[in-house]
Chains A and B, each alone.
Chain A
Amino acid sequence: MNGNTNDLILKTMTSIIAFILLGFSLYLFFAGHNAPGGGFIGGLMTSAAIVLLNMAYGQSATRNSLPVNFRFLFKLGLIIALGTGFGSFLFNEPFLSQTFAYFQLPILGRTELATALLFDLGVYFTVIGVTMTIILSIAEDREEVSQ
């Protein structure tokens, strides 16, 4: 119950596992079109990785190494999602209509790129922002209260 424990194993494992988690979340995000996954579960996995970093290294060290304002991030996500909705007005289409096309990419070859991915990106940012805002504002403790 003293606060000074040595978390060497946890810290070493976290530095490996956090990258696996981020890779898996990116896979889930891009697989969402033809397989289980999508913006929501991808965002949840990314925030799980960030929560793991927070648990292993403490809140201030994580904020120094990952300087993201999560309150800004979910506003950005909502703006992206709304922007894809209003972007369809430029082509005289109804609100939130989606389209796709095939492109010749350098490494991947002939790839189907859909504008639904941009909407999914908005969902992804919103889920990360909301989850991390909730968790970090609950974890925010007061400065040492003297008994």
Chain B
Amino acid sequence: MESALEITRMLIDIATQIAIVVVGISIFLLLYRVIKGPTNPDRAVALDVMGITLMALAGLVTIIVVTTRLNDVVLLIGILLFIGTIALAKFIEKGVIIERNMD
């Protein structure tokens, strides 16, 4: 029974390390799109997805260093990412982020 527990623990460790490597590779691929991207909306979308992979990375690091303190950070990255993407989209679409009158 205890050896099964050991195997499960080792499996979680290996899976987390593989996932961190894969997420790191995807961040570099997204970085290529951010630098190379022909238009500004390409860069905005790439930055958005990069933030999502950053959330995944924070969650995986939470598994590696066994703690629950990083869960707030994941939520925080998600919220700031949402607001930042909306601001970028409004800037690309209208050229002004906070308008005086919407009507």
Count of residues in A whose CB is under 8 Å from the partner chain: 29
Q: Is residue A112 contacting chain B, with contact meaning CB distance below 8 A?
A: no
The segment from A82-90, A96-104, A133-141 that touches chain B is A133-141
Task: For B83, list chain A residues within 8 Å (CB).
Answer: 48, 51-52, 55
User: Taking the complex as formed, is B21 at the interface, i.e. its CB lies under 8 A from any CB of chain A?
Assistant: no
Q: Cβ of A21: which chain B residues have Cβ within 8 Å of it? A: 79
Q: How far does the alpha carbon of A54 sit from the alpha carbon of B97 in the complex, in Å?
A: 9
A136-B102 contact in complex given A45-B79, A52-B83, A52-B86, C-beta closer than 8 Å: no
Q: Label chain B's interface by main secondary structure.
A: helix
Cross-chain contact A1 with B100 (CB below 8 angstroms):
no
In the complex, B2 has a CB within 8 A of chain A: no
CB distance from A40 to the nearest CB of B (A): 12
Decide if the interface of chain A is mainly helix, strand, loop or mixed: helix
CA separation between A61 and B17, bound complex, in Å? 49
Q: Does A95 contact B (CB under 8 A)?
A: no
Which B positions have Cβ atoms within 8 angstroms of A?
A: 69, 72-73, 75-76, 79-80, 82-83, 86-87, 90, 93-103
Question: Can you report 7 residue pairs joining A to B where beta carbons are below 8 Å apart?
Answer: A36-B69, A51-B83, A55-B86, A55-B98, A57-B102, A58-B98, A135-B98
The interface of chain A, by Cβ under 8 A from chain B, is: 1, 3, 5, 7, 10, 17, 21, 24, 28, 35-37, 41, 45, 48, 51-52, 54-61, 135-136, 139, 141
Since A5-B94, A52-B86 are in contact, a sample of 7 more A-B pairs with Cβ atoms closer than 8 Å, ordered by chain A residue number, is A3-B94, A24-B75, A48-B80, A55-B97, A58-B99, A58-B101, A59-B99
8 smallest CB-CB distances across A and B, nearest first, come from A58-B102, A139-B98, A58-B99, A54-B98, A59-B100, A36-B72, A36-B69, A60-B101
